[in-house]
Chain A
Amino acid sequence: MKANYLAGVDTATLLDPKSNAWNQPKAETFKLMGTPLGMQPTELIRSSWAKKKIGQVESIKVQAAHNGETIAFRIEWATKAPSMTNGDNSIFPDGAAVALPADARAPVITMGAQGMPINAWYWRANDGGHGRQLSAEGIGTSETLDMEFVKTNGVYENGHWSVVIARALKIESKKPVAQLEVGQDAKFGVAIWDGKNQERGGIKAFTGGAWLDLSLEAGK
């Protein structure tokens, strides 16, 4: 899909999922699948989820845009029962993440592999807009890199979450992060956690085992 170049639109505007700036980028719908049971990293998780549906959210609409400095993904999905908190301990906040390869060879299905990291930008409904940047080299290995570069904003309205996840195209970091270039192609994937279904960690819905294509529109 295409990340439109929205010249002169500041990052704060991009971060508003209800801003008119989002009228322009074309939305694409992606079917999601639950993460395969066999890939869950502990036997407890595999046995306790054997008879439960992993991945309540079945499809999302995604838009992408950049302003030459920051790229933003706007992700929208329907849920009748949003989860904003950890409740009484027994539920989890809804979440969304965009994954990008930090190494061209990194597989998305396993969250990267040793020596082939992926980079994930992460939103949680209860994080007050503090996005989280992670890297991972395989299932269960994700590490928080920082809480400063990724900006997020989620709005729940009329049975829908609209979440924007944004980061500077390039950041200064020695850590394994994705660096994006205007006018070039990139890859990405999306994951959604339904907190009322106790989805957290590897229990999630995602865009599947193949990276999705993204082309960053060049400046005019």
Chain B
Amino acid sequence: MSKRQLAMAMDLNKCIGCQTCTIACKTLWTRDEGMDYMWWNSVNTQPGLGTPRNWENMGGGFKDGVAQAGQLPTKADFGEAWQYNHEEVFYGGKGQNVHLQIQGETPNWGPNWDEDQGGGTYPNSYFFYLPRICNHCTNPACVAACPRKAIEKREEDGIVLINEDRCRGYRFCMEACPYKKIYFNHSKGVSQKCIFCYPRIEQGVANACARQCPGRVRFVGYRDDENGPIYKLVEKWKVAVPLHPEYGTDPNVFYVPPTGPLRFDENGNLDPTSPRIPEDYIRHLFGQPGIEALAIMLEEREKVRKGGKSEVLDILIAYKWSEMFGGFDRDPATIEWDNNGPINKA
């Protein structure tokens, strides 16, 4: 275990599925060769097959303490990076009569293919968005799997990083990661994944996905910082819980489960006695702690409804954006650089 652990908590009641986080990550980290199909941050509609397709049934994680080899997700499972006729439309003088079109074979899957489909039946259909990054697990299956000790869990903050100089592209980590959050770079021949924006973190700047999120969904900070949002949401109020805890990796990304809208009864009246998002589905994703987190949320809402105050709801509302980042609130524009890196360090 690392000395300290950085973590992220995401409030699924607030995520609007805008993919700003996804694009923030893409433009910052995955524009190089071989990275075109990578989405270190992905946001999918639940219930749904997700990214990579059907990842929840691909295996991996721990069983009786032993890291398991699951499936290797294919490029098609992740969704190939489609090529468009940008040249023709933007620069070919045909902007009025030619449409942007995917070139080559018509795809039958992509990284956000089942967007907004969700589940349930009218009038009680439902969906919500689930953003995912690497969970920088406390017990990372990827680290356990690698025969070359190419994956390091940093002592100082628990960030899990693949050392591309040691990686030889064997992909045992991809088999082992139960969240299927590792990609293989076919140009460089190495595995790559979310780096928790460690170069930003080292300068006191929160992750790009978190800072850019217009929904104020994402909280960042050390797990043991009792004044920070992570400690309060995870340990103190227990409203933020890990995804698929049964995978056994002890993830450090936490979710406030979605309460969802009210359910209609047979007569078309609102029925508050049972949730629209089936408990079984919440339990499938988050286990019993997910159900308990929802109960706390509803209780706190009721408290506020009756005129009371709720610390946890105030945190989740995120009145002050800068307070979401557990001290990692430096404006990246204040960093001055020379050729050796930042000169006014955090």
Given known pairs A44-B176, A140-B149, the reply for A86 and B66 (CB within 8 Å) is: no
Query: What residues of B have a CB within 8 angstroms of the CB of A148 in the complex?
Result: none
Chain B residue at minimal CB-CB distance from A199: B170
> A114: shortest Cβ distance to chain B, in Å?
14
Q: Does residue A43 face the partner (Cβ distance < 8 Å to B)?
A: yes
Chain A residue at minimal CB-CB distance from B168: A201
A40 to B172, CA, bound (A): 12
Query: What residues of A have a CB within 8 angstroms of the CB of B69 in the complex?
Result: 44-45, 47-48
Tally B residues with Cβ within 8 Å of A: 30
Q: Does residue B306 face the partner (Cβ distance < 8 Å to A)?
A: no
- Which residues of chain B from 156 to 200 have any CB-CB distance to chain A below 8 Å in the complex? 165-166, 168-172, 174-176, 184, 186, 189
Query: What residues of A have a CB within 8 angstroms of the CB of B184 in the complex?
Result: 86, 89
Q: Does residue B67 face the partner (Cβ distance < 8 Å to A)?
A: yes
Across the interface, do A42 and B174 meet the contact criterion of CB distance under 8 Å?
A: no
Chain B residue at minimal CB-CB distance from A202: B147
Q: Does residue B146 face the partner (Cβ distance < 8 Å to A)?
A: yes
Query: What residues of B have a CB within 8 angstroms of the CB of A41 in the complex?
Result: 147
Across the interface, do A140 and B147 meet the contact criterion of CB distance under 8 Å?
A: yes
Query: What residues of B have a CB within 8 angstroms of the CB of A44 in the complex?
Result: 66-69, 141, 144-145, 172, 175-176
Give the residue among B71, B75, B170, B189 with the most A Cβ atoms within 10 A.
B170
Across the interface, do A89 and B73 meet the contact criterion of CB distance under 8 Å?
A: yes
> A127: shortest Cβ distance to chain B, in Å?
8
Across the interface, do B144 and A86 meet the contact criterion of CB distance under 8 Å?
A: no
Q: Does residue B74 face the partner (Cβ distance < 8 Å to A)?
A: yes
Given known pairs A47-B69, A90-B72, the reply for A42 and B146 (CB within 8 Å) is: yes
A54 to B69, CA, bound (A): 16
Give the residue among B76, B145, B166, B172 with the most A Cβ atoms within 10 A.
B172
> B152: shortest Cβ distance to chain A, in Å?
15
Query: What residues of A have a CB within 8 angstroms of the CB of B345 in the complex?
Result: none
A86 to B68, CA, bound (A): 22
Q: 4 nearest interchain CB pairs? A: A48-B69, A88-B74, A44-B67, A44-B145
Across the interface, do A42 and B76 meet the contact criterion of CB distance under 8 Å?
A: no
Q: Does residue A187 face the partner (Cβ distance < 8 Å to B)?
A: no
A42-B144, A89-B74, A89-B174 known, 4 other contacts, Cβ within 8 Å: A42-B145, A45-B172, A48-B175, A140-B149
> B198: shortest Cβ distance to chain A, in Å?
24
Given known pairs A43-B66, A45-B172, A201-B168, the reply for A89 and B147 (CB within 8 Å) is: no
A90 to B184, CA, bound (A): 10
> B53: shortest Cβ distance to chain A, in Å?
13
> B279: shortest Cβ distance to chain A, in Å?
34
A to B CB contacts below 8 Å, 26 in the list: A41-B147, A42-B145, A42-B147, A43-B67, A43-B144, A44-B66, A44-B176, A45-B69, A45-B145, A45-B172, A47-B68, A86-B169, A86-B189, A89-B72, A89-B74, A89-B75, A89-B174, A90-B71, A92-B169, A92-B170, A139-B147, A140-B148, A144-B165, A200-B168, A201-B172, A202-B147
- B68-103: contact bitstring with A at CB < 8 Å (1 yes, 0 no)? 110111111000000000000000000000000000
A88 to B74, CA, bound (A): 5
